[in-house]
A and B are shown apart, each in its own frame.
Chain A
């Protein structure tokens, strides 16, 4: 693993990924007045005839995408993560139920979004989309992985939801390592033997920092980028339990039914292992910088270190 370089936000990766998909004429892009934010604007500027402005009307956008999918197109529909939630039932009944391949991207997910405040900070999107039958749920950790996973969606059948983040975080991957990613397969970033930190999104970077701190304490930690929450890579979780014996999950999302919830669901019906969850407790955020909010909500590498200690002590 090469050292992380300064990178882009995962939303930039989505925008770049769409450009790489443009050579397939079936690909169409739908926007709800937030193309400049989700980064679908790059596709619009090059391929205006395949970019559809749906206005500030997310419910309609989801079903227009469904109709296009039923007619042979491959629609990518994006807005803020929080505003996709307005159209939750449209996604459930209009896209997923008839098994239509529509790719939804919700940008600005999590409290990391920052100063816009709690109305824009979706902390429940991953949870709600996980509950929809047949829905793939993806949350990349940096711009390069977001781009790679967006490109892979072209050959992915069925509905998907990808959450991207607004703000830049250090790159986890480089142009070579990112090609090893596969939707539905977690990515082992660091291999250790005492505790495994399973993270997603912007928390992967925090998990790597935490692993370094733990290493200085003589604790060997694995770090997994679980960029796909559903289907969950349970084989990798099994391997982590075998190697480390205890787990920590880390996500910029409610601790209810997100990544931590998904891992807990799996553990509770299979091999038992201590699990500590780092995530947003059952509360809303507020305005502030990403780092202020991460601190206030308990989403820093130090919080992961503390959780690792708790998890190890429960072995």
Chain B
């Protein structure tokens, strides 16, 4: 069995997720911009991933054999920065400079700017292909490192994603793991009103992937699924996580207007009260 993550139990992961949620709303409020909705929907999954699976070393960010995490839906950068702060890659000050000129915390996650970020995102649909490249390189190197890719459900409207799903199966890649954050909201509106993506699990299965569908906010379910995906090496594995956009802040939950809008002063106050 691989050992990775920080060895956190469900309660510790829940505490970590709560702290991250606080930082997500603080960061976007301070920047007066950014994407809280998709950060809050994905943060339980990210805490589970980094808390129980990811083999990384903040003291050696370029460690060649580290596991890779590709945040393909790069606008959920506040979620990533809150995690990187938790595990010691970036300081509180760095985190709170989100979106400022010269900040290591660029608007969308960028490997050129931030230690611990493995991909320069921002343009949707590219991360799975990049992850496949990382996974193929790992296989060539005979390395046991895993490559995790998080996709948004709106994001999979991009055709390149399906090129990559097909290619991953064709190349029988066993060290590539996808998490789909199925929060059902994209930039303009609900996914089913923009371009319904339908039964994602069935579609991925038809592309040759082994799929588990879970509640992306159940720490118990998601850590089990991550453990399964981590050790599923016979081919590409995907977790389709049903989530709630804006999860944890009542007025952001399932609300398309908080896809890309920061909380104002009053909203921040209420959000922090709810998360306390």
Residues of A within 8 A of B (CB): 28, 49-50, 52-55, 57, 59-73, 75, 89-90, 93-94, 97-99
Residues of B within 8 Å of A75, CB to CB, are: 133
In the complex, whether B92 has a CB less than 8 A from a CB of chain A is no
Known: A54-B167, A57-B166, A94-B120. Contact between A64 and B129, CB under 8 A? Answer: yes
Q: Whole-angstrom distance from the CB of B71 to the nearest CB of chain A?
A: 14
Chain A nearest CB: distance from B161 CB in Å? 9
A57 smallest CB distance to B (angstroms) = 4
- Does B130 contact A52, Cβ atoms closer than 8 Å? no
Q: How far is the CB of B53 from chain A (nearest CB, A)?
A: 19
A73 touching B137 by the CB < 8 A rule? yes
Q: Return chain B residues, CB-CB under 8 Å to A62.
A: 129
Inter-subunit contact B166/A55 (CB<8 Å) = yes
Contact residues in B for A65 (Cβ distance below 8 Å) = 133
Q: Are B137 and A68 in contact (CB under 8 A)?
A: yes
A interface secondary structure, majority:
helix
Chain A binder among B42-50, B110-118, B240-248, B264-272: B110-118
25 contacts between A and B (CB under 8 A): A57-B160, A57-B167, A63-B127, A63-B132, A63-B133, A63-B160, A64-B130, A64-B132, A65-B133, A67-B132, A67-B133, A67-B135, A67-B136, A68-B136, A70-B118, A70-B134, A72-B64, A73-B137, A89-B123, A90-B126, A93-B122, A94-B129, A94-B130, A97-B112, A99-B112
B109-166 residues at the A interface, CB under 8 angstroms: 110-112, 118-120, 122-123, 125-127, 129-138, 140-141, 159-160, 163-164, 166
Q: Are A90 and B112 in contact (CB under 8 A)?
A: no
* A71 contact set on B, CB distance < 8 A: 64, 68, 133-134, 137-138, 141
Q: Are B167 and A72 in contact (CB under 8 A)?
A: no
What is the bound-complex CA distance between A33 and B167, given in angstroms? 13
| Cβ A55 vs Cβ B126 within 8 A | no
Residues of A within 8 A of B110 (CB): 97-98
Is B171's CB within 8 Å of the partner chain A? yes
Given the interface pairs A60-B167, A90-B160, the reply to whether A66 lies near B130 with Cβ below 8 Å is yes
Chain B 49-93 near chain A by CB (<8 Å), digits 1 or 0: 000000000000000100010000000000000000000000000
- Complex contacts, A99 vs chain B, CB 8 Å: 112
A55, B170: Cβ atoms under 8 Å?
yes
**B141: A residues at CB distance < 8 A:** 71-72
Which residue of the partner chain B has the closest CB to A63? B129
Query: How many residues on B have C-beta within 8 angstroms of the other chain's C-beta atoms?
Result: 33
For A67, the chain B residues whose CB sits under 8 A away are 129-137
Roughly how many angstroms separate A99 CA and B68 CA in the complex, as a whole number? 18
Please determine whether B126 and A93 come into contact, CB atoms closer than 8 angstroms.
Answer: yes
Output the nearest chain A residue to B137 by Cβ-Cβ distance: A71
Query: B220-246 vs A: 1/0 string, CB under 8 Å?
Result: 000000000000000000000000000
A94 to chain B, nearest CB (A): 5
Complexed CA–CA distance, A307 and B57 (Å): 62
Residues A64 and B159 in contact, CB atoms below 8 Å apart: no
Residue of B132, B138, B159 with most chain A CB atoms under a 10 A cut-off:
B132
Inside 8 A of A73's CB, which chain B residues have their CB? 137, 140
Among B112, B133, B159, chain A packs the most CB atoms within 10 A around the CB of B133
Q: Which residues of A contact B122 (CB under 8 A)?
A: 93
With A and B bound together, what is the CA distance between A94 and B164 in angstroms? 14
Query: What is the CA–CA distance of A204 and B48 in the complex, to the nearest angstrom?
Result: 60
Closest beta carbon of chain A to B63's beta carbon, Å: 12
Docked pose: A138 CA to B194 CA in angstroms: 42
Q: Which residues of B contact A97 (CB under 8 A)?
A: 110, 112, 120
Cα of A42 to Cα of B170 in the assembled complex, Å = 22
CB contacts (< 8 Å) of B138 on chain A: these are 71
- Please give, as numbers and ranges, the residues of chain A lying within 8 Å of B134 by CB-CB distance: 67-68, 70-71
Q: Which residue of B lies closest to A65 (CB)?
A: B133
Apart from A55-B163, A68-B134, 7 more pairs, CB < 8 Å: A50-B140, A59-B159, A59-B163, A60-B163, A67-B132, A67-B135, A93-B120
Which residue of chain A has its CB nearest to the CB of B132?
A64
Q: Which residues of B contact A63 (CB under 8 A)?
A: 126-127, 129-130, 132-133, 160, 164
In the complex, which residues of chain B have a beta carbon less than 8 angstroms from the beta carbon of A60? 129, 132, 160, 163-164, 167
Bound together, the chains give a CA A67 to CA B149 distance in angstroms of 12
Residues of B within 8 A of A94 (CB): 120, 123, 126, 129-130
Which residues of chain B have C-beta atoms less than 8 A from A68's C-beta?
A: 133-134, 136-137
Cα of A68 to Cα of B111 in the assembled complex, Å: 14
CA distance A65 to B104 in the complex (A): 25
Contact with A along B169-213 (1 / 0, CB 8 A): 011000000000000000000000000000000000000000000
